[in-house]
Amino acid sequence: MANVFTNIIKNLTGQQPTDIESLIKHTENVNLVCKGCHGEIQKHTLLKNNMICPKCGKYFRMGGKERIKWLADKKSVEFMFDDYESRDFLEFPGYSEKLEKSRKQTNEKDAVVVGTAKIGGKPFAFFVMDSRFMMASMGSVLGEKITSIFEYAKKYSLPVIGFTASGGARMQEGIISLMQMAKVSGAVKRHSTAGNLYITVLTDPTTGGCTASFAMQGDIILAEPKALVGFAGRRVVEQTTKSKLPDNFQSAEFLLEHGFVDSIVPREKLRDTLGTLLEIHSAGGAAV
Amino acid sequence: MTPYEKLKTARASTRPTGSAYIDQIFKNKIELHGDRRFGDDAAIVSGVGFLDDGIPATFIAIDKGTDLQSRLAKNFGCPKPEGYRKALRLMKQAEKFRRPVVCFVDTLGAFCGAEAEERGQGQAIAENILEMMGLKTPVITFVIGEGGSGGALGLATADRVYMLENAVYSVISPEGCASILWKDSNKVADAAACLHITAQDMREFKVVEGIITEDFDHFDKMCNSIRHQIKKDIKTLSAMSDEELLENRYNRFRQFGYFTRTVDDEDEM
């Protein structure tokens, strides 16, 4: 996992790495254990292999900033709306402590980064959810930032590429968390009605209220191989169904088979695929 | 009543179900079935009829059923994807014929079975919320019992939302919250209090426009006052242009959020 990764590096070097380049720089001598095959991997091998285990193909989760910098043209990334901080307005037991802990662990204010970037010189707006921060549960800050980037993208007629990863609602914000689903959906709808492109990339894990709103609202829905994508949790489904579910249940492959995903794109092909999609949609329809 | 007592009251089997409200409030009703995709979900009762004075309207209700047989048939009021798709089909139809939509919500949540996942429960709810944000006809929703998370929001992305005085509305069931947070499903009462799920809480958060006083002994009278509220809202909402209606609906949800900012970067927009 990326957070295990960054923590190890932090412990070794006393510095919090924020992107691939600094990760590579600071991790020359660290060996990591893959959760897939339990084999040892040299850190820089993993980084150069798009955070995929070269032995077993296991996808390591990526942090928000790490992800967009890995994806986009060099020096094209501009982060926006990055001064929002969550508030424990319900005085929910343990929430303040959890926020504090996640902030320290990730060096981020909340579970999503938004902004603008380019692939192959084509501009787009983005949001990337970061499962290291409270499982990217969806509170006011997350909803506000994603809504704001859609409003910005509509104003400047930019496509939006969104990387989803979420455990679902942030119950520590009660009903206001649920309202973020409608709030973001409203901004998606306006952006869409104005004729703009929205691509979602479902990454591991995309669940709950995230699946039941903006993750599934893209014009084009891509997914990373083997990503967990679903509405209800696996255990809840098993209890409801009273039977054991197949191993691939709620995987990206399962969703593709059932018609809910346009394409599963391996990490090494993601940049090219997104680049082509941006190009196709910026050319203007021949029918116009 | 404590939040937990309200939760139990909201779930009481003696409470009128969605169909009971439709029966009282609408005249010359015709139920319309099916999502034209997969099947007909009995957990959702929907159709067309008249509010009095010849005002046609579309009604959509989540119905828990009244006896064991109907509860089983209706899956205890937990809609499946085809239920949400049926609801959306009727909303689009209402938009075409410029009829207002009246929804009644009463669910523990959307169904969590394997077949619901296979048929895209998340996608179905996501599409409802998205399309309701652009629906060019008034939508008024009443939470009459339980408003269970996304399964409720799929019918509650509305211009006006009301709650019965002992109804509850929550992002997660208090049972689910207690078991995730404290690994103890006995702490339901604590979770119910922490989550702020009562109609009074919702009024404070501006998640609902008003609270309906419960009087099940005089159910017809109570429904008359609900009908009166619907007609009043339809009058206000119908006077708006499509743009105004959608703008107001957008802003209704746009305002939700509590956070702090450290920098003022308004020039970003």
Instruction: Name the stretches of chain A with pLDDT < 70.
Output: 1-29, 284-288
Given a contact cutoff of 8 angstroms between Cβ atoms, the answer to whether A160 and A127 are in contact is yes
Sign, CA dihedral B171-A64-A146-B110, equals: negative
Domains annotated on chain A, with CATH: 1-60 (no CATH), 62-282 (3.90.226.10)
Please tell me the distance from the alpha carbon of residue B168 to that of residue A151, in angstroms, as a whole number.
32
pLDDT of residue A26: 61
Contact call for A141 and B259, based on CB within 8 A: yes
CA distance B43 to B28: 21
For residue A261, the distance in angstroms to the closest alpha carbon of chain B comes to 10
* Interface touch A231/B259, C-beta < 8 Å: no
Q: DSSP secondary structure string, B63-103?
A: ---SSHHHHHHTGGG---HHHHHHHHHHHHHHHHTT--EEE
Could you give the residue ranges of the DSSP H alpha helices within chain A?
2-13, 20-26, 43-48, 64-71, 95-106, 140-155, 174-193, 208-211, 234-241, 252-257, 267-282
Choose among A278, A259, A57: nearest CA to A160: A278
Contact assignment for A231 to B202 by CB distance below 8 Å:
no
User: Model confidence over A169-203: pLDDT tens digits?
Assistant: 999 999 999 999 999 999 999 999 999 999 999 99
Q: Name the residue among B123, B130, B261 with its Cβ closest to that of A189.
A: B130
* pLDDT at site B108: 96
B120 interfacial to chain A (CB closer than 8 Å): yes
**Averaged pLDDT in 10-residue chunks for chain B of 269 residues:** 97 96 97 98 98 93 96 96 98 98 98 96 98 98 98 98 98 93 88 97 98 98 97 97 98 97 61
Mention every residue, 6+ apart, whose C-beta is less than 8 A from residue B47: B22, B29, B30, B31, B32, B58, B59, B90
Q: Which residues pair with A117 in a beta bridge?
A: A124
Per-residue pLDDT reduced to its tens digit, B197-239: 999 999 999 999 999 999 999 999 999 999 999 999 999 999 9
Smallest Cα distance from A41 to chain B, Å: 34
Amino acid at B84: Y
Given A175, A215, A216, which is nearest B169 (Cβ)? A175
Q: Which of A83, A147, A243 is opposite residue B263, by nearest beta carbon?
A: A83
CATH number of B3-268: 3.90.226.10
The shortest CB-CB distance from A92 to any of B123, B194, B201 is to B194
Cα–Cα distance, B99 to B26 (Å, whole number) = 14
Q: Do B259 and A144 touch (CB under 8 A)?
A: yes
Contact (CB<8Å) B157/A185: yes
Phi, psi dihedral angles at A262 (to 5 degrees)? -75, -40
Instruction: Report whether A226 contacts B111 (CB < 8 A).
Output: no
Token pair, residue B219, equals 């159910």
Per-residue pLDDT of B41-59, as tens digits, reads 999 999 999 998 789 999 9
**The tokens 């590096």 sit on which residue?**
A9
Q: How far is B50 from chain A (nearest CA, A)?
A: 29
Nearest to A108 by CA among A71, A151, A68: A68
SS3 labels along A134-169: HHHCECHHHHHHHHHHHHHHHHCCCCEEEEEEECCE
pLDDT score, position A243:
83
**What local confidence, expressed as pLDDT, does residue B205 receive?**
98
How many other CB atoms sit within 10 Å of the CB of residue B47?
17
Q: What is the pLDDT of residue A20?
A: 58
Residue of B nearest to A95 (CA): B181
- Please name the member of A141, A155, A232 whose beta carbon is closest to the beta carbon of B112: A232
Burial group, residue A93, by CB count within 10 angstroms (0-12, 13-18, 19+)? middle
Q: How far is B17 from chain A (nearest CA, A)?
A: 23
User: Containing H/E element for B222?
Assistant: helix B219-238
Provide the pLDDT for residue A239. Answer: 86
List of chain B residues whose C-beta atoms are within 8 Å of the C-beta of residue A186: 133, 249-250, 253-254
Q: Which of A87, A171, A181 sits opposite B150 (nearest CB)?
A: A181
Q: Do B150 and A212 touch (CB under 8 A)?
A: yes
Burial of A31 (0-12, 13-18, 19+ CB in 10 A): exposed
pLDDT at position B212: 98
Q: Does B168 touch chain A (CB under 8 A)?
A: no
Please name the amino acid found at residue A46: L
Residues of chain B with Cβ-Cβ distance to A243 below 8 Å are 114
Q: Is B117 on the interface with A (CB under 8 A)?
A: yes
Any A CB within 8 A of B121 CB: yes
In total, the C-beta contacts within 8 angstroms joining chain A to chain B are 189
Judge: A189–B121 Cβ closer than 8 Å, yes or no. Answer: no
What is the reported pLDDT for A174? 98
Q: B51: helix, coil or strand?
A: strand
Q: Does B193 touch chain A (CB under 8 A)?
A: no
